[in-house]
Chain A
Amino acid sequence: AQRVTQPEKLLSVFKGAPVELKCNYSYSGSPELFWYVQYSRQRLQLLLRHISRESIKGFTADLNKGETSFHLKKPFAQEEDSAMYYCALSGLETSGSRLTFGEGTQLTVNP
C-alpha cells in the first residue's frame, strides 16, 4: 500500500520568510514524487516532480529515500505563493496516472 502524509493542514508565514511544506511517504517500491498546487479559483496543476530536479517559481524539493520525505522549500515566500499544496506519489510499478495524494497544506503568505 502507498501512503502520503502532509502533517500540516495550515501553514502561515510572512512575505520574505523561508517556507517548508512537509511531505512523508510510505511505499515499498520505486516512488515517483510530485508536488501539485491549486491557486484560488484555479485548477490543480503540477508544480514540480523529483525526477526533474528543477526549481519552479523558486520552489525546490529533494527526495530523501532514507527518511522517505519529499519536502517542498522556498527561501523567500511571496504573497502569490498562497495556495493549496498537495504532495503526490505514484509507483513505477503502476501507471503514472494513479496518484496517491496527501491531504494537502494550505499555505498563506502574509504581507
Chain B
Amino acid sequence: KAGVTQTPRYLIKTRGQQVTLSCSPISGHRSVSWYQQTPGQGLQFLFEYFSETQRNKGNFPGRFSGRQFSNSRSEMNVSTLELGDSALYLCASSLGAWSSYNSPLHFGNGTRLTVT
C-alpha cells in the first residue's frame, strides 16, 4: 500500500506570494491533517479535514487554509507569504475515526517551504 505522498518536496517562494501544497493520503483514509514543523516551534497542528469538511483547526492566521476533495486528497494554501512561514509542512492521513486509538496517523515526508 502506498504511503502518504506530498508534493512538491521543496519550494522556494518570495514574500507576498502564495503557495499551494498537495497531499495524497493512503488509499481508504478519509482524514487528512496538516502540521507545520519549525526549529523554534516544533510540530504544530494546522487543521484537519474529514470527508471534505474541516473538522479541526489550530491557532494559525487565516492566511493558512486548506481543502479536501472527494477522493480525500488535500491541498493546503498559504497566502501573502511571510519569512516566518519557512518550515517543513507535514501531511498525515488516517482512517478518520474520532479517536486515535483506532485510527493512528501516517505521515508523509513533507514539503520544505523556504520564503525569501
Q: Interface residues, chain A, CB within 8 Å of chain B?
A: 32, 34, 43-46, 49, 51, 86, 90, 92, 94-104
Contacts and interface: CB of A to CB of B under 8 A. Distances in A.
A51 B103 CA distance: 12
Contacts of B4: 43
Given A32-B99, A44-B107, A97 B94 contact: yes
Interface residues of B, number: 30
Contact of A97 (B31, B43, B44, B108): B31
Nearest to B31: A97
B109 A43 contact: yes
Interface string B95-108: 00111110111111
Nearest to A93: B98
Nearest to B46: A98
